[in-house]
Chains A and B, each alone.
Chain A
Amino acid sequence: MMILLYIIFAVIVGLLFHGIHRKVIARIQTRPGPPIWQEFLHVMKFSFKQTWIPKTASKVLFVAIVPAVIAIWAGALYVLFTGGSLLVIFGVYLLHKITEHGLGLSSGSPYGKLGAIRSVLSAASEIPLIASIAGIYFVTGSLMISDIVAYQADHGILLITALPIALAMYVIILSKVPYSPFGIIEAKEIVSGNKTEHFGAFRAGLEVGFALKTFVLLAVFVTLFIGAMPFWMLLIASLILLLTMSFICALTPMLSPYDAVTIQIGVIIIVIIYMAFIAFAGGMP
């Protein structure tokens, strides 16, 4: 029961974060922008709009992919709050790639298909990038979130002592926020990419899942690299982290798919050099 309340709270905060993100981007670009509760209104609106399944769609997959998105991120939220294994969060991130792909392929639409192909392409760089959490294991000796928090209490925050790994995680989260320069799977030249054919209640479900995803990823970053803090401070730290990303999103154009992959691979190389340094130095620098 308690976890259900947490999920509802995380969805509301995630949607508000999306709204604040849009507002900040708009103000930087000297536009008035929508109100910060706009994404919440979107979900309410989509929930009551007419919904149907395209004639060309693979019906079961088309529908099942929406609860799958919500379920995996709700699971990730549970793992985060119970101090479970970071490996599960890593797993959920990869499962999210599968849902992105299924979302695009299930409708039969060429726009969805292009979004799905781009999600496969981006997986080639995002997956090794998130595998850099193995670096956290080399540094802290554990992948349990509760142990990592305890490690930071004794040895200082990982944001400073393991900066390259934090950079890799930052790029991962930046890739997943709306209007990201790395958001190639839903670029406007392919309409809304893999989300194109999911409208009405299905879109509302997806927005709920994506709000959960944003909340979880921001909270994971803050917990992993800054450490334990009161819940209200976690929310503020997550918001500050999001605002840094809003600036990048507002000031950077959407990258081409190959540029996006190239930049992410550049970050992977930095992390590999850092991990090799740790391995040869025999411990923390």
Chain B
Amino acid sequence: MYEAMTASVTASMPVSESAYGFTQTDIEGQALFSLPFGDIVNFLTPYTAVLFVFALTFTIIALISKPERQVDTVMGGDAYYTKDISRETLRFQRFMAIACGLATMGGIMAGDVFNFTLFTAFIGITNIGIVAAVKNKHILDNAFEYGLLAMIGTLPLFVGAALVLATTGTLSMWILFTPEVAVPLFAKLLLVIGVIAEGMAPVFVAKAEITRAPGAPYILMVHVSSLLIFLRVIEIVISM
């Protein structure tokens, strides 16, 4: 059924815009690279290539960088102290930051709405891991709240993807981005709400208790991943 619907969608398009002829849009310009797996075509445009390189750069920084030692003043005096990270915490945060970077790159390259939502959910999980690694009551409370929000966000995220499939018969962005396919505004809205809840930016990150947590290269990955995936979903909903 799915293949039949996809075939009918692609058959209705002119040859130059058929499933593997997607080279130029008025939103992102010329596609640079594509990797087809059946009707799922992973691809990079100049826009997603910039995002991909940025995600890769910060993942490498998280891999090779040691954390900073946050300086804090002692209230009511002149003294100050620095926060150090134990070796175990560092290893776990670094692992989560790299996993987060890989999930972000996957989300950026995804050519399929379901894959995109799946990588976004991975980002939510790894972000919670980065924050929850720090043994501090405020930060752990924060990680717990993030966890709740990410779980709630998963529902609109995947329902959005399901609605796209139900109404168009395909999840392939290669096909969805063509003018012949109309995606309901409500499905797009659900995807954006899901990413905002899952990726934590730009709304929930304002409760930045996480900045109490030392480990700048890893904490920064929370922001890198959430902003990059927000940028990707904006591109997806405008293009669909």
Question: Chain A: interface secondary structure?
Answer: helix
Residue of B nearest to A142 (CB): B26
Query: 1/0 per residue A76-109: CB within 8 Å of B?
Result: 0001000011011011101101100110011111
Q: How far is the CB of A197 from chain B (nearest CB, A)?
A: 10
Please report the C-alpha to C-alpha distance between residue A196 and residue B183 in the assembled complex, in whole angstroms.
48
Q: How far does the alpha carbon of A283 sit from the alpha carbon of B133 in the complex, in Å?
A: 51
How many B residues face the partner with a CB closer than 8 A? 44
Indicate whether A8 reaches chain B with its CB closer than 8 angstroms. no
A120 in contact (CB, < 8 A): yes
- How many A residues are at the interface, by size bracket? 35 or more
The verdict on A117 contacting B211 (CB below 8 Å), with A105-B216, A123-B202, A128-B202 known, is yes
With contacts A87-B28, A88-B50, A105-B219 taken as known, whether A58 is within 8 angstroms of B65 at the C-beta atoms is yes
Chain B residue with the shortest CB-CB distance to A95: B54
Which of A56, A98, A137 is close to B223, meaning CB atoms less than 8 Å apart? A98
CB distance from A149 to the nearest CB of B (A): 13
Q: Is the CB of B238 within 8 A of A94?
A: no
Main secondary structure of the interface of B (DSSP, over half): helix
In the complex the two chains form, what is the Cα distance from A75 to B219 in whole Å?
25
A-B contact count (CB 8 A): 139
> From A144, which residue of chain B is reached at the shortest CB distance?
B26
A61 and B211 form a contact (CB under 8 A): no
B216: which of A58, A131, A137 is its contact (CB, 8 Å)?
A: A58
Instruction: Decide: B65 and A60 in contact? CB cutoff 8 A.
Output: yes
B 49-77 to A, binary, CB cutoff 8 A, 1 in contact else 0 = 01100100110010011111111110000
- Contacting pair A113 B211 (CB below 8 A): yes
The proximity string for A residues 54-80 relative to B, scoring 1 for CB distances below 8 Å and 0 otherwise, is 011111111010001000100100010
Instruction: Determine how close the nearest CB of chain B comes to the CB of A272; give it in whole angstroms.
Output: 13
CB-based contact A143/B230 at 8 Å = no
- A282 CA to B226 CA in the complex, in Å? 33
Contact of A127 with B220 in the complex, beta carbons under 8 Å: no
Which residues of chain A come closer than 8 Å to B220, judged between CB atoms? 61, 98, 101-102, 105
Check if A255 is an interface residue, CB within 8 A of chain B. no
Interface status of A156 (Cβ within 8 A of chain B): no
Most B CB contacts (10 A, CB to CB) among A92, A120, A134, A144 go to A120
Question: CB within 8 A of A102: which of B46, B206, B216?
Answer: B216
- Whether, in the assembled complex, A124 has its beta carbon less than 8 Å from a beta carbon of chain B, the answer is yes
Q: Tell whether, in the assembled complex, residue B57 and residue A68 are in contact, meaning their CB atoms are under 8 Å apart.
A: yes
CB of A174 to closest CB in B, whole Å: 19
From A59, A90, A95, B65 is in contact (CB under 8 Å) with: A59
Identity of the chain A residue whose Cβ is nearest the Cβ of B51 in the assembled complex: A91
**A94–B55 Cα gap in the complex (Å)?**
13
Assembly CA distance A92 to B47 (angstroms) = 10
B203 at the interface (CB under 8 A from A): yes
Residues of A within 8 A of B45 (CB): 85
A166 within 8 A of B: no
- Tell which of A84, A97, A120 touches B211, judged by Cβ atoms closer than 8 Å: A120
Interface residues of B (CB under 8 A from A): 26-29, 45-47, 50-51, 54, 57-58, 61, 64-73, 82, 201-203, 205-206, 208, 211, 214, 216-217, 219-220, 223-224, 227, 230-231, 234-235, 238
- Please list 20 pairs of residues, one from A and one from B, whose beta carbons are closer than 8 Å in the complex, sorted by A's number: A56-B82, A58-B67, A85-B47, A88-B47, A92-B50, A98-B223, A102-B220, A105-B211, A108-B214, A110-B72, A113-B70, A120-B211, A121-B206, A123-B205, A123-B206, A123-B227, A127-B227, A134-B234, A142-B26, A143-B26
With contacts A91-B51, A98-B224, A123-B202 known, what are 15 further pairs, Cβ within 8 A?
A56-B71, A61-B216, A85-B46, A85-B47, A87-B47, A87-B235, A94-B230, A95-B227, A105-B216, A107-B68, A117-B211, A120-B223, A127-B202, A127-B230, A144-B27
